[in-house]
C-alpha cells in the first residue's frame, strides 16, 4: 500500500509509469500538478486513475502533507508562470522532512520558478538546514545559480538516465554544484542511492548503476 503518489507535472518521463504503479500496488491518493499541461498526458493520467477508481487531487504551495513520520510542505506552484517550459516551471516542489532529514525536491523547475522557491526559502530561519538537494530537471543547464550558491546542502542528487540525448547533467550545473561544496551523486553513475541519517551524521548507500 502506498499512501500517495505525487506526479510533479505531466511530461512523459514523470507520468508514463503511472499505470504500472497502480496495477502493482494499492494507492490511496494521487496528488498532481494543478497545471494540466501537456493536454494529452493530463487526459491520460485522468483516464488511468479512473480505471482504478481514483480521482487525482491537485496540490498547491502552502499545502502540508503528513504520512506517518514523513512530512512535506509544498513550496511551488504558487502562481502560474508562462516563461520557458510551462509544465516544468509549474511543477511541484516539495520540502520533505523524515526522521530529521530535510530534502528539497525541485522537480523540473527552471530558472523563473526556482528563483521564486529561493525567495520563499530566504524567509525561513537560517537554522532550517536542508540536508539534501534533489537537483532540478535532471541537472539541466536551466538552474537558478543563486539558489545553488545560497542553499549549500551537503548532498546533491541528480536523477538522470545514462547516455541521455539531452546531455544532462549539464557541465555548467556540475561546476556550480562543485563551487557550492556539494557532494554530488547521480543515478547514471551511482545507481540507486539511499540517504541515511541527517546533518553531521549524513551517510549514503549506493547500488548499481
Read off the pLDDT of residues 13-52 as tens digits, 9 standing for 90 and up.
999 999 999 999 999 999 999 999 999 999 999 999 999 9
Cell 557550492, residue located? 180
Can you give the pLDDT at residue 198?
79
Share of the chain above pLDDT 70, in %: 99
Can you give the pLDDT at residue 209?
76
Can you give the pLDDT at residue 99?
87
- Short-list 32, 31, 23, 24, CA closest to 52: 23
Q: What rounded mean pLDDT belongs to the chain?
A: 94
Can you give the pLDDT at residue 91?
98
pLDDT tens-digit readout, 71-96: 999 999 999 999 899 999 999 999 99
Spatial neighbors of 107 by CB under 8 A, at least 6 apart, are 8, 9, 88, 91, 92, 93, 94, 136, 137
Gyration radius from the chain CA atoms: 17
Can you give the pLDDT at residue 78?
95
Cell 513550496, residue located? 75
pLDDT tens-digit readout, 105-130: 999 999 999 999 999 999 988 667 79
Q: How buried is residue 185: exposed, middle or buried, by Cβ count under 10 Å (0-12/13-18/19+)?
A: middle
Amino acid at each position: 500500500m502506498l499512501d500517495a503518489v505525487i506526479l510533479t507535472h505531466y511530461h512523459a518521463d514523470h507520468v508514463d509509469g503511472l499505470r504500472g504503479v497502480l496495477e502493482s500496488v494499492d494507492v490511496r491518493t494521487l496528488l498532481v500538478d494543478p497545471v494540466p499541461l501537456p493536454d494529452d498526458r493530463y487526459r491520460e493520467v485522468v483516464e488511468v486513475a479512473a480505471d482504478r477508481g481514483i480521482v487525482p487531487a491537485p496540490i498547491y504551495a502552502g499545502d502540508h502533507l503528513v504520512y506517518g513520520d514523513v512530512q512535506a510542505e509544498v513550496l511551488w506552484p504558487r502562481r502560474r508562470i508562462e516563461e520557458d517550459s510551462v509544465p516544468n516551471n509549474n511543477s511541484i516542489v516539495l520540502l520533505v522532512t523524515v526522521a530529521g532529514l530535510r530534502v528539497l525536491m525541485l522537480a523540473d523547475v527552471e530558472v523563473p520558478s526556482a528563483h521564486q522557491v529561493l525567495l520563499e526559502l530566504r524567509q525561513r530561519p537560517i537554522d532550517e538546514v536542508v540536508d539534501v538537494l534533489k537537483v532540478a530537471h535532471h541537472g539541466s543547464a536551466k538552474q537558478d545559480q543563486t539558489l545553488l550558491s545560497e542553499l549549500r546542502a551537503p548532498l546533491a542528487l541528480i536523477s538522470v538516465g545514462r547516455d541521455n540525448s539531452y546531455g544532462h547533467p549539464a557541465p555548467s550545473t556540475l561546476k556550480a554544484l562543485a563551487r557550492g561544496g556539494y557532494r554530488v551523486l547521480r543515478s547514471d553513475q551511482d545507481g540507486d542511492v539511499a540517504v541515511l541519517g541527517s546533518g553531521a551524521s549524513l551517510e549514503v548507500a549506493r547500488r548499481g548503476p
